[in-house]
Amino acid sequence: YVIPGQRVVEGHQNYIMAYNMITGIRVAVSRCSWLPSPVKEEDFSNVTKLIFDMEGNSLTPGTKYEFKFKDYAPEVFRRLRTRFGIDQADYLLSLTEKVSLNELGSPGKSGSFFYYSRDYKFIIKTIHHSEHRQLRKVLKQYYEYVEKNPNTFISQFYGLHRLKMYTRKGIIKVHFIVMNNLFPPHRAMNLTYDLKGSTHGRRTDIEKAKAAGKTSIIAKDLNFLELKDKISLGPIKKKPIIEQIAKDVKLLQQLNIMDYSLLIGVHDLRKSQEEDPDNLMANFDPPPIHPHSHPPLSPPNELETEIPEPTQGEQNQDQDPSSNPPQNTTPTPTSKHPHPHPHAQHQPKQQVQLQQTQQTTTSTTTTNPCFIEPDGGIRATDANNQDQPLVYYMGIIDSLTNYSTFKRCETLLRCLKDKRETISAIPAYDYGERFYKFMDKIIVSKTQEELNRTKY
């Protein structure tokens, strides 16, 4: 499948795929129970199959294109969404209004496609069949882990699906996941790091990328080291964060997973002040979050399409603007109010009245360490735990690669040439150890001088 970087509009070669993905999600998610119930053993292996065609039937609406859609372990993902504080109605609305093709430039080696939901909260990533198998295999352990560790940094998986389409070239099967976007819509990241703790080939030519006019530059381990950068967290914040990373790494080691990264977006409050003289960030307080008042970072390319109404589930979604909750006020790290989940996007949502589910939808919000802001950001602090004008958005991404035979071969081949510690394809246990050690080393508070030196 060719990966294009253009708009996904009618006529685009991925238009039908994107259209079918969101149609499938829309119908499948509407069919999930709205009342969160305890997950049963059989829910992990359960697969719902839906057949879409022009005529439609009692389960699916008539659609423009014929395709088959599989929803894996729908009740497990439904429960995971609840655990991560994602409201069922919001999820449906965000994903199925319009989908946009991402602007990450040329995709990674894996050849995955990334799509943002219209509101920039969710990411759809197409995955390799082996990653799909991996997630199914470890779903129960992942689920149990999340139940105990709702503040995990590991990607939040909200859905696992498969699309089967008939094209001129034959039958195409596309596996994909829905996950959290670590970055909020209201803030630009001044620099993003994708860190693995390895050095082999881990450099982005930042100057070249800038010269090419790239807006979202993903720097890597060597860039981080060369810039003499640090993740500035004083002892009070570092402790719980590094402990959570240690636990997350331990799980990934047990699951035989490697090749993941810590993705860190840095937002420099000084810079946003410079760029926006009207902005009221005196004392570097984070700005209030108004989800709809700022455009997404890179204006998404709209998939302009009408999505057919499903036959059941959400006909009752009448938007009632008068029921919008009051806009959130400036979050402060010391706020005593329980925050929603840290690593998901939780700007105040448009409330959707669901007559059908009004009494039954309960939102299990997880209690959130008070230093994590409602949008998932972590304010930098110095050695005395005083706030600094940087905010970090971070999480462990790309965590579905099993240390497979392929990787084993790669390790053997590369070991002939390079020192073992510097390469990334090493067994899951070693990978995790190296990853953790690196993160432990780079999370150190910055001095005032260092802070002045590194402006992002």
Contact residues for Ca ion (CB under 5 A)?
110, 398
* 112 sits near ligand ATP (criterion: CB under 6 A): yes
Of positions 108, 201, 235, 295, contacts ligand ATP by CB under 6 A: 108
Question: Which residue sits closest to Ca ion, CB atoms considered?
Answer: 398
Give yes or no for a contact between 395 and 263, defined as CB atoms under 8 angstroms apart: yes
- Cα 354 vs. chain centroid, distance in angstroms? 27
> What part of residues 294-323 is at the interface with ligand ATP (CB under 6 A)?
none
* Residue 180 CB, nearest approach to ligand ATP (Å): 6
Give yes or no for a contact between 11 and 74, defined as CB atoms under 8 angstroms apart: no
Longest dimension (CA), the chain: 68
Which two three-digit tokens encode residue 302? 């709209």
123's contact among ligand ATP, Ca ion, none, with CB below 5 to 8 A by partner kind, is: ligand ATP
Of positions 263, 269, 344, 442, contacts ligand ATP by CB under 6 A: 263
CA separation, residue 395 to residues 173, 182, 189, 249 (Å): 29, 7, 14, 12
Give yes or no for a contact between 455 and 270, defined as CB atoms under 8 angstroms apart: yes
The number of residues making up the chain comes to 456
Which of 67, 260 has the CB closer to ligand ATP?
260
Which two three-digit tokens encode residue 268? 């420099």
Residue in the structure block whose two tokens are 């409330």: 351
179's contact among ligand ATP, Ca ion, none, with CB below 5 to 8 A by partner kind, is: ligand ATP
In whole angstroms, how large is the CA radius of gyration of the chain? Answer: 22
> What part of residues 196-255 is at the interface with ligand ATP (CB under 6 A)?
218
- Facing residues of 123 across strands? 116, 179
CA separation, residue 173 to residues 164, 166, 409, 444 (Å): 4, 9, 27, 45
Residue in the structure block whose two tokens are 């094209």: 167
Stretches 12-20, 37-45, 51-59, 177-185: which one binds ligand ATP (CB under 6 A)? 177-185
Which two three-digit tokens encode residue 405? 């035979």
Which of 108, 201 has the CB closer to ligand ATP?
108
Of positions 39, 397, 423, 428, contacts ligand ATP by CB under 6 A: 397
- Facing residues of 162 across strands? 70, 175
* Residue 240 CB, nearest approach to Ca ion (Å): 26
Of positions 106, 109, 207, 299, contacts ligand ATP by CB under 6 A: 109
109's contact among ligand ATP, Ca ion, none, with CB below 5 to 8 A by partner kind, is: ligand ATP
* 258 sits near ligand ATP (criterion: CB under 6 A): no
* Alpha-helix runs per DSSP H in 348-453: 405-415, 428-442, 448-453
Which of 22, 426 has the CB closer to Ca ion?
426
Of positions 107, 333, 348, 427, contacts ligand ATP by CB under 6 A: 107
Which of 91, 260 has the CB closer to Ca ion?
260
Stretches 173-181, 204-212, 361-369, 445-453: which one binds ligand ATP (CB under 6 A)? 173-181
* Alpha-helix runs per DSSP H in 32-101: 74-83, 88-96
> Which residues in this chain contact ligand ATP in the complex, by CB under 6 A?
104, 107-110, 112, 114, 123, 155, 179-183, 192, 194, 218, 263, 397-398
